[in-house]
Amino acid sequence: MNRTRKTARGCIAITAAVLTCACGSEPAPPPRRAEPAPPATRAEPPRAPLAYPAAHKGDVVETLHGVPVADPHRWLEDLSSAETRAFIEAENAFTRRWFEGVPERERLGPKVAAAANVERISAPQHKGKHWFFLRNNGRQDQLVLHVADAPTAEGRPLVDWNQISPDGKLAFAGFSVSPRGTYVAYGLSQGGSDWVEWRVREVATGRDLPDRVEWTKYYGPTWAGDEKAFYYSGFPKPPSGQELAAKDLGCAVRVHRIGAPAGPDPVVYERPEHPTWQYAPEVTEDGRYLVITTGDGQVGDRGVEEVHAIDLTAKSAKPVPLAEGFDAEYLYVTSEGATFYLETSSEAPHGRVIAVDLRDPARPVRKTIVSQGKAVISSVARAGDRLLVATHVDMSSRLHAYGLDGRDAGEIALPGVGKVYPVGGGRAERAAFYVYTSFDAPATTYRLDLATGRSEVWQRPKAALDLSAYETRQVFYTSKDGTPVPMLLVHAKGLATDGNNPTYLTGYGGRGVSMAPHYNAEYAFWLSVGGVVAIPGLRGGSEYGEGWALVAEKTRKQVTFDDFIAAAEWLVAEKITSPRKLAISGASNGGLLVAAAMTQRPDLFGAVVVEVGVLDMLRFHLVGQGEGWTGVYGSPTVPEEFRALLAYSPVHNVKPGTNYPPTLVVTGENDTRVVPWHSYKFVAALQAAQAGPGPILLNLQTTSGHAGGTTLSAKLRGRIDKYGFIMKALGMTLPP
């Protein structure tokens, strides 16, 4: 589980992610219709349950808040034990045999690869005399960082992760260019885990310096104005063997001076009295201030932050608060002298932009620059003398420009219904860039002339599949408590509503994440084989701002699952599909979503894929990043929150003797964010309880972390496994 930061620097993460009008409206009421009939029961052939690998049940029982809670598979939490390794090996062998029996598996590979064959080019960054951008021709395993002398030039490869690690054991994890374009710090993920090592390359020569920074997570480095050092967030080195499960404690902001000998770098900022706090550093464009955004847990996960500024030109300068108290979301956007621009939810559930003036640090002055509107702010970036503000209305984006004084500079017309990401640029820039994507449009970069307000395509990627035969529409359905919930449907034009369409229902329902139209190679493949894609905007997410998220957090998390189940029921009632033709899938918080839905309504789904899910809701907080999620899920240490967690925790709500739908549980061996034992325990419980013939499979991907395979080849193998499983479970055949 994680939440994308919406800062100006966040464009690096955003463009990498998309490469792998201020006048909005409230949701319209759903059309009046008769109440849906109860969903039909899946027709299962008379087959006996499979003979799964043995996984013994221990006798661990804990009494929590007066409630005895059994944990028979606690032993699987010891990831390095011989017993756990034997369980994993047996499960993987069992799963491979099942995969090999998938009809037309050989034909599946080329179709999955064709959907992924999309050229990927990020928006350019201007530093000094150079322009920097990421590129992949659609067939390369990893991204390549290019440098050019003009934004339209082809440039030359500067950092090629394919050459650094042909086997993908070291994977792309971001980059940060120094202010004058002299150096680039580039990140290497260890086997796809969140642990990242940073190296430094000289742009002119392409030569690596001896500098190395290890044991960082989540936050990239930010360069000092003189290019002699960079600041970064680091963690203590975990004990050997505990790299996956060690709690994220003791974060500190450090400074690494170029050429410094190996050893611990000096600490710039830390709060040892708050070991769970973490820090995202950012140096202002003029190099004067270090801005530190603080979260309790990973910055952004709880949706509340503190922000401080340190004057780097003053000796022993103390941090000056821009926002304190963890009372709202505060995300740094840009600065102009001693004025700092923040995007915030303070007194604005839909978001606003404020300026904090620190000319008198003892009495900071706040001023609203962009007021809250009906549309929800999703991201803000500064380019030249403009603030580019992306908002979403229902489940699609709008883009608006404002002056730094809040003057309305007009809406920027987008090419369709999709998602937009404004990209930050320096104060001297005369043009801005933004990335637009939709279900039928791979991530396309546009150049905006700031003087004229005109946009033009800068780079339009090439895709192997033609998606012109498909359409996107938004519907509203009614959830359990009567709330209208939006949902996007993508399908072939002229879809027959006969209940026979194989349908892929997915969602997230987590704070800070809004579901919107975007190009996705998996969706493109599913459409190409005759499927329907359904994506609801569940409560718990941010489709309608902070209130939409808060209503489904902590003791109210069941609301998210009710929304998802209601989406499935609507699809059946409207004869888009039927339970035997309905597949559900989700990852991370979305993995929890589909696992909770299938344990509560096993009759409603024909196939389930749970990817890197948070599945043991009574012990998630004890490892890795889990403590930071208690602000959203609640804590098992609080009695009323414990009861709510126990009521839906997938591991604890598997019922013996139940006919569960075919279920594939996917996890990464190097996942440091959601430790793999969540998946191991869930699979062991499901296999022991399964009364029906549907397979319960564990797929442990050995060269991946929380985001899946580190290379395109690994991702394609995972998708072949996933969609081969779904198609066999739903009784589908590949078209010619």
Residue at a domain's end among 464, 498, 519? 464
Whether 522 and 457 share a structural domain: no
Q: Is 3 exposed, middle or buried (0-12, 13-18, 19+ CB in 10 A)?
A: buried
Q: Which domain holds residue 476?
A: 82-114+465-730
Asked if 54 and 588 count as a contact pair (C-beta separation under 8 A), the reply is no
* HSE, side-chain direction, 13 A CA sphere, residue 293: 34
pLDDT of amino acid 35: 32
Active site residue 588: yes
Average pLDDT over residues 222-231: 98
pTM: 0.91
pLDDT of amino acid 301: 87
Encoded tokens for 365: 């002055």
Domain-located, residue 426: yes
Bridge partners for 401 per DSSP: 388
Whether 398 and 495 share a structural domain: no
Considering only CA atoms, give the Rg of the chain. 25
**Euclidean distance between CA atoms 364 and 339, whole angstroms:** 10
Number of domains, the chain: 2
Bridge partners for 562 per DSSP: none
Asked if 520 and 723 count as a contact pair (C-beta separation under 8 A), the reply is no
Bridge partners for 534 per DSSP: 489, 505
Average pLDDT over residues 46-56: 83
| Placement of tokens 């730094």 in the chain | 404
Q: Measuring CA to CA, which residue among 139, 52, 114, 101 is closest to residue 724?
A: 101
Q: Between β-strands 503-506 and 532-536, what pairing exists: parallel, antiparallel or unpaired? A: parallel
Whether 469 and 450 share a structural domain: no
DSSP class of 674 = S
| Extended beta strands in 149-288, E state | 156-160, 170-177, 183-190, 196-202, 208-216, 222-223, 229-234, 252-257, 267-269, 277-283
Domain-located, residue 367: no
Whether 491 and 518 share a structural domain: yes
Say which amino acid occupies 623.
V
Domain-located, residue 147: no
Whether 409 and 492 share a structural domain: no
Whether 629 and 695 share a structural domain: yes
Q: Which residue has the higher pLDDT, 560 or 363?
A: 560
Residue at a domain's end among 464, 497, 519? 464
CATH number of the domain residue 90 falls in: 3.40.50.1820
Catalytic residue among 438, 588, 679, 704: 588
Rounded to 10°, the helix 677-689/82-100 angle is 70
Dihedral, CA of residue 570, residue 571, residue 574 and residue 580, to nearest 10 = -120
Encoded tokens for 650: 């997938």
Domain-located, residue 348: no
Whether 475 and 449 share a structural domain: no
Whether 448 and 473 share a structural domain: no
How would you list the strands of the sheet with 441-449, edge to edge?
A: 419-423, 431-438, 441-449, 455-459
Active site residue 479: no
Whether 576 and 695 share a structural domain: yes
Whether 493 and 600 share a structural domain: yes
Whether 449 and 496 share a structural domain: no
Task: Give the H/E segment covering residue 258.
Answer: none
pLDDT of amino acid 1: 56
Least confident of 34-48, 384-398, 418-432, 559-573: 34-48
DSSP class of 636 = T
**Euclidean distance between CA atoms 614 and 610, whole angstroms:** 10
Distances (CA, A) of 729 to 92, 140, 261, 634: 19, 31, 57, 35
**Euclidean distance between CA atoms 517 and 415, whole angstroms:** 13
Q: Is 207 exposed, middle or buried (0-12, 13-18, 19+ CB in 10 A)?
A: exposed
pLDDT tens-digit profile of 674-702? 999 999 999 999 999 999 999 999 999 98
Asked if 88 and 700 count as a contact pair (C-beta separation under 8 A), the reply is yes
Encoded tokens for 631: 């602000």
Domain-located, residue 257: no
Average pLDDT over residues 46-53: 79
Encoded tokens for 68: 């005895």
> Phi and psi at residue 299, in whole multiples of 5°?
-55, 125
Q: Measuring CA to CA, which residue among 541, 531, 536 is closest to residue 567?
A: 536
Q: Is 705 exposed, middle or buried (0-12, 13-18, 19+ CB in 10 A)?
A: buried
Distances (CA, A) of 543 to 205, 536, 599: 46, 10, 26
Domain-located, residue 243: no
42 has a pLDDT exceeding 50:
no
Say which amino acid occupies 56.
H
26 has a pLDDT exceeding 60:
no
> Phi and psi at residue 628, in whole multiples of 5°?
-70, -15
Domain-located, residue 400: yes
Domain-located, residue 236: no
Catalytic residue among 130, 308, 518, 706: 706
529 has a pLDDT exceeding 90:
yes
Say which amino acid occupies 57.
K
For all residues of the chain together, what is the average pLDDT?
91
All residues at 6 or more sequence positions from 593 whose CB lies less than 8 Å from its CB, including other chains: 507, 508, 509, 538, 560, 561, 564, 586
Q: Is 430 exposed, middle or buried (0-12, 13-18, 19+ CB in 10 A)?
A: exposed
Whether 517 and 414 share a structural domain: no
DSSP class of 463 = B
Task: Give the H/E segment covering residue 11.
Answer: helix 10-19
Residue at a domain's end among 428, 449, 464? 464
| Placement of tokens 């208690």 in the chain | 630
Least confident of 71-75, 398-402, 487-491, 708-712: 708-712
pLDDT tens-digit profile of 622-649? 998 898 899 999 999 999 999 999 999 9
Percent share of the chain, pLDDT over 70: 94
